[in-house]
Amino acid sequence: KGKRAFIAGIADDNGYGWAIAKSLAAAGAEILVGTWVPALNIFETSLRRGKFDESRKLPNGSLMKITKVYPLDAVFDNLEDVPEDVKLNKRYAGSTKWTVQEVAECVKEDFGSIDILVHSLANGPEVAKPLLETSRKGYLAAISASSYSYISLLKHFIPIMNPGGAAISLTYIASERIIPGYGGGMSSAKAALESDTRVLAYEAGRSKKIRVNTISAGPLGSRAAKAIGFIEKMIEYSYKNAPVQKELLADEVGNAAAFLVSPLASAVTGSVVYVDNGLNAMGLAS
Ligand code: NAD
């Protein structure tokens, strides 16, 4: 029987989430997507108008099918968490049921269960600021959107995940090494995400035999990465200094994710898996 995947954090065809969706679709999975509420309209319109058709192409020539797109804001667990100004915000008022708990309920109602959960989202409003200049509010916002969101998604989706299922998220080496420019508490958020991956692997493994891993991905010129400001420099640095000197393709991260959530990785859990052309292993720029 085919697997069903819910992928949180797709709003265009440039990011890691999209590439993971394609790899999973190519392996036969049914694809459900959670898209950030403010980005929902343009994503759905672009999908409908065929703007992504070229990048929907799978290796066998068919086009990836997205069964359903759910509006999602992963910084809110349920309606009680949503402040008035967000409720009244024009970009949110057009959609309903986009808190994590409500989305999980909707997926349950529509499909009953899922096998694979993908967390491919991050947000740090002060990412351009050095850590010493980051406000408490900005720091906590980064942790909320980029780390707690994984806990919240798992908490609400595990009850509808089939035993033997798996979850994957995306992290970045700034969690463990100094990457100047990756500020606003985003480095802290990734450190939390990696630590939580171990504890969540234990808890989800014991309760439902669900595996939890994270991929430490190399630099990609996604929309989120471009907002940070130094992504071209990071891509160039990686190309120059990694053991394997080649462009890192989003599809390579997609394929590694498909492996990690598949039965081929049935004994891999609680791991941080590097998909970065090996850059993490270097001790000296070369
Ligand atoms: P992306 O822009 O494709 O994905 C980020 C997504 O997060 C966007 O679709 C955005 O709409 C969504 N999002 C932001 N806040 C949200 C919220 N509150 N609720 C729901 N969705 C929200 O960019 P990407 O670089 O592919 O990012 C995906 C993941 O990969 C992130 O965790 C990122 O940190 C990680 N990553 C990226 C790189 C890189 O160089 N691009 C490297 C390592 C790790």
What's the confidence (pLDDT) of residue 106? 98
- Going by alpha carbons, the residue nearest to atom 33 of ligand 1 is 122
- What is the value of ipTM here, to two decimals? 0.99
Predicted confidence (pLDDT) per residue in 126-141, tens digit = 999 999 999 999 999 9
For residue 72, list its beta bridge partners: 36
Which of 16, 92, 139, 172 is the catalytic position? Answer: 172
Beta carbon of 248 within 6 Å of any ligand 1 atom: no
How far apart are the C-alpha atoms of 63 and 269, rounded to whole Å? 31
What's the confidence (pLDDT) of residue 29? 98
Beta carbon of 184 within 6 Å of any ligand 1 atom: no
pLDDT above 70 covers a percentage of the chain that reads 100
- By the 10 Å C-beta count (0-12 exposed, 13-18 middle, 19+ buried), 48 is classed as exposed
Beta carbon of 217 within 6 Å of any ligand 1 atom: yes
**How do strand 30-36 and strand 4-8 relate by DSSP bridges?**
parallel
How far apart are the C-alpha atoms of 33 and 28, rounded to whole Å? 16
Beta carbon of 228 within 6 Å of any ligand 1 atom: no
Beta carbon of 170 within 6 Å of any ligand 1 atom: yes
How far apart are the C-alpha atoms of 64 and 29, rounded to whole Å? 10
Find the mean pLDDT for residues 16-44: 98
What is the 159 CA–ligand 1 centroid distance (Å)?
25
Which ligand 1 atom is at minimum distance from the Cα of 18? 3
Find the mean pLDDT for residues 226-239: 93
With a threshold of 0.95, does the pTM exceed it? Answer: yes
Concerning whether 172 is annotated as a catalytic residue, the answer is yes
Beta carbon of 30 within 6 Å of any ligand 1 atom: no
CA distances from residue 219 to 7, 11, 86, 119, 200 in whole angstroms, order as listed: 20, 18, 32, 17, 26
What's the confidence (pLDDT) of residue 286? 86
What is the 1 CA–ligand 1 centroid distance (Å)?
30
For residue 43, give the 3-state DSSP assignment: helix
Find the mean pLDDT for residues 95-118: 98
Predicted confidence (pLDDT) per residue in 38-56, tens digit = 999 999 999 999 999 999 9
Predicted confidence (pLDDT) per residue in 242-262, tens digit = 999 999 999 999 999 999 999
Predicted confidence (pLDDT) per residue in 69-81, tens digit = 999 999 999 999 9
| Residue 230 φ then ψ, to 5° | -120, 25
How far apart are the C-alpha atoms of 12 and 250, rounded to whole Å? 13
What's the confidence (pLDDT) of residue 229? 86
For residue 69, list its beta bridge partners: 33
Which of 139, 182, 237, 239 is the catalytic position? Answer: 182
- Going by alpha carbons, the residue nearest to atom 7 of ligand 1 is 121
Statement: residue 214 has pLDDT above 90? yes
Instruction: Convert 112-135 into a string of H (helix), E (strand) and C (coil).
Output: CCEEEEEECCCCCCCCCCCHHHCC
Residues 251/55/63/49 CA torsion (nearest 10 deg): 150
Beta carbon of 75 within 6 Å of any ligand 1 atom: yes
CA distances from residue 245 to 15, 231, 233, 240, 255 in whole angstroms, order as listed: 21, 17, 15, 6, 19
Helix (H) or strand (E) holding 9: none
Q: Which of 43, 170, 273 to mutate to test the pocket of ligand 1 (most atoms within 8 A of CB)?
A: 170
What's the confidence (pLDDT) of residue 36? 98
- Going by alpha carbons, the residue nearest to atom 8 of ligand 1 is 9
DSSP structure string for 205-252:
HHHH--EEEEEEE-----HHHHHHS-HHHHHHHHHHHSSS-SPPPHHH
- Going by alpha carbons, the residue nearest to atom 22 of ligand 1 is 36
How far apart are the C-alpha atoms of 268 and 273, rounded to whole Å? 10
Concerning whether 150 is annotated as a catalytic residue, the answer is no
Beta carbon of 73 within 6 Å of any ligand 1 atom: yes
What's the confidence (pLDDT) of residue 176? 98
Predicted confidence (pLDDT) per residue in 108-118, tens digit = 999 999 999 99
What's the confidence (pLDDT) of residue 165? 97
Predicted confidence (pLDDT) per residue in 168-198, tens digit = 999 999 999 999 999 999 999 999 999 999 9
